[in-house]
Amino acid sequence: MTSETFIATVAIVGLVIAVSTLLSGAIDRSGVPHAAVFLLLGLMLGPHGVGVLDVGLGSPILRVVATLSLVLVLFTDALGLDLAEVRRHIGLAFRVLVPGTLSTAAIAALAAWWLLGLAPPAAAVLGAALASTDPVLLRGMLRRPDLPDSARLALRLESGLNDVVLLPIALGAMSLMGSAAPAWGRLVVDVLLLGPVAGVLVGLLAVSVLAGFRRRTGIRRDYESLYSLGVAFSAFAAAEAVHGSGYLSAFAAGLTILYLDVELCDCFLEYGETTAEMALMFSFVLFGTSLLWTGLGEIDGRTALFAAIVLAIRPAVFLIALAGSGLSRGPRLMVSWFGPRGLSSLLLVALPVFAGMPGAERLLHLCGVVVIASVVVHGASLVLLARRGRIRAAMAAPAAAAPSALAPARPEPGGETITIDELRALRESGAPVVVADVRTERSARSSELAATGAVRIDPDRAVEDTRALSLPTDATIALYCA
C-alpha cells in the first residue's frame, strides 16, 4: 500500500464517521437509506468523481473491511436474537426462512442459470447472496414507530437468521466452482462442524473469563462492548486457523454469549451495533468507488430482466409463504415488499472473488446491478413512507406546550448515576420522582430483579412510551437499567 493510498483510506474512515454523525438526524427524518448516501459518497470519491480513491478487487483494504464487516453482521445477528421470541414464534420464523428466504434464493439461482447462462454453482452463490437482506436498510425500517408490531417481528426474525442460513449454501456452492472435485465429507466437517464448534468454545471461554474478572476487579460497561468485538474477531480467527468457517464461528460465538450472558449482549448492542454500522458504511463507500458501478456498463436486456425478476421474486414468494401466518394483510404486504439487497449481498458474493474462483468477478457485477436497483426502489419506498408518516403526525399532533410551562431540568444528585439513598432522599423531600425500568425486553425477562413502583419504558420506543404514560415534565426520572 502506497503512502497516498494509506492517507486517503484514513481520511475516508474519518469522513464516514463525520458524515454518519452529522447527517444521521436528517437522513432518518427524510427516510433516505444510509446506504444510498454512502454509495454516492463513494462515487464522488472514486475515479468517476474527484478520483482520490479507487478500490479494485485486489485491494487488501477491501478484503479486510469486507471480511470484518461480514463477521460483525453475523455476530450482531446472533446477539440481536431474542431466543424466547424465536421459540414463541417458531412457525413464523420457519415461514420466513424456508418457504421465504430459501425459495427466494432458489428461484433467483434458477433465473441466473436460465437467463444469464451461469453455471449451476455460480448461480447458486448469486441466488444465495441476493436472497440476503441488507441489515443497515432493515435496521432503519425496524426503528420506524409506525411499523406494525407484527411486521416488525417478522422482519426482525428474518434479519437475524437469514444470513446464517444462506452462508452455508454460498460456501458449499463455492467449493463446486473450483476445478478440483470437492471432498464432500471434508467440506461438511469444515463448514458445518469446525466453524460452529470453534465459535462455541471461544464463546464459552470468553464468558468464563469475563465472569471471573467481573467478580474480582469489576469491568466498565462500555469496555464490555469492546470485549464483545474482540470475541467476534477471535472466534473468526480460531475457526480459520483450523480450516473451519470463521463466519459461522462468529455467529456461533454470538449465540453462545446470547445464551449465557445477556448483560454482555446488551452491552454490545448498545455500542457494538454503532461500531458495526460504521464498518458497514465504510464498506459501502469502498464498494461504491468503482466496483459497484462497473456492472452498470455491462447491462443488457437479459441483465435488466434478471434484476427485475429478482426484485419481484420476494413479494410473490413471501405473500405465499406468509399466508395463514396470522399476519393481517397490511403487515404481510409490508414484509413481502421490504427485502432490500445491499451490503450483505455484496459481502456474500465477494467470498468467491476473494478466493480467486473463476467467473466470480461477473457475479459481483451482476450483484451490484441488483443492489443499485434495490437501493433506488426500496429507498424510494422508505422516503414515501417517511413523508406519509410526517403528514399523519402533523395532523394528529397536539399543540406543543409553551416553554414557560416546562420546569427547568433538575441536575442529577450523583452526576450520571443516582444511588438508592439519593433517590429516597429526593422522595422524602417531596420532589416529584419517577422510576422508569428501561431494560430491554430480553434483559427484563431474564432477571428476577425489579425496581419497586417502576413504570416500564421500552428503550426502543422511549418517546412513544413516555408520552403514553403522561409523565410529569417537572419530575426527576431515575432510569433503572441493571
Burial status of residue 477 (CB atoms within 10 A of its CB: 0-12, 13-18, 19 or more): middle
368 sits in which H/E element = helix 360-396
State residue 53's pLDDT score: 75
Q: Can you read off the three cell numbers belonging to residue 420?
A: 438508592
Give the pLDDT of residue 404. Answer: 37
SS3 of residue 96 by DSSP:
helix
pLDDT for 28 equals 67
8 Å CB contact between 89 and 322: no
**DSSP conformation letters of 224-289:** HHHHHHHHHHHHHHHHHHTTS-HHHHHHHHHHHHHHH-HHHHHHIIIIIHHHHHHHHHHHHHHHHH
- In this structure, whether the domain defined by 3-394 belongs to CATH 1.20.1530.20 is answered with yes
- d(CA 11, CA 264) in angstroms, rounded, equals 32
The torsion region of residue 55 among left (phi > 0), alpha (psi -120 to 50) and beta comes to beta
d(CA 147, CA 151): 7
DSSP 8-state assignment for residue 100: I
User: What confidence score (pLDDT) does residue 268 get?
Assistant: 65
Distance CA 137, CA 42 (A): 17
Distance, CA of 62 to CA of 76 (rounded, Å): 21
CB 33 within 8 A of CB 250: no
Comparing C-alpha atoms, which of 269, 345, 272, 280 is closest to residue 35? Answer: 280
List Cβ neighbours of 309 (8 Å cut-off, separation of 6 or more). 108, 111, 115
Name the phi and psi angles at 338, rounded to 5: -85, 85
CA pair distance 89, 196, nearest whole angstrom: 24
Residue 214 one-letter amino acid: R
**CA separation for the pair 261, 244 (Å, rounded):** 25
Residue 112 is predicted with a pLDDT of 95
- The DSSP secondary-structure symbol of 459 reads G
pLDDT for the residue numbered 287: 85
Q: pLDDT by residue for the chain (482 residues), tens digit each?
A: 566 666 767 777 777 778 777 777 776 666 676 777 778 888 888 888 777 777 777 778 888 888 888 898 888 888 878 788 888 889 999 999 999 999 999 999 999 999 999 999 999 999 999 999 876 667 767 777 677 888 888 888 888 888 889 998 998 888 888 655 556 666 677 777 889 999 999 999 999 998 888 888 877 766 777 788 889 999 999 999 988 889 999 999 999 988 887 666 666 666 666 777 777 778 888 888 878 888 787 788 999 999 999 999 999 999 999 988 888 888 898 889 887 778 888 889 989 988 888 888 999 999 999 998 988 888 787 777 666 654 344 444 444 443 333 333 344 444 456 777 777 787 777 778 888 877 766 566 656 667 777 788 776 666 667 777 777 777 778 877 65
Distance (Å, rounded) from C-alpha 81 to C-alpha 152? 13
Indicate the DSSP class of residue 189. I
**pLDDT recorded at residue 388:** 63
Closest alpha carbon to 283 in 357, 350, 233, 355: 350
- What pLDDT does 401 receive? 40
Q: Return residue ranges of the chain for CATH 1.20.1530.20.
A: 3-394
Calpha distance 392→191 (Å, rounded): 49
Q: Read off the pTM.
A: 0.77
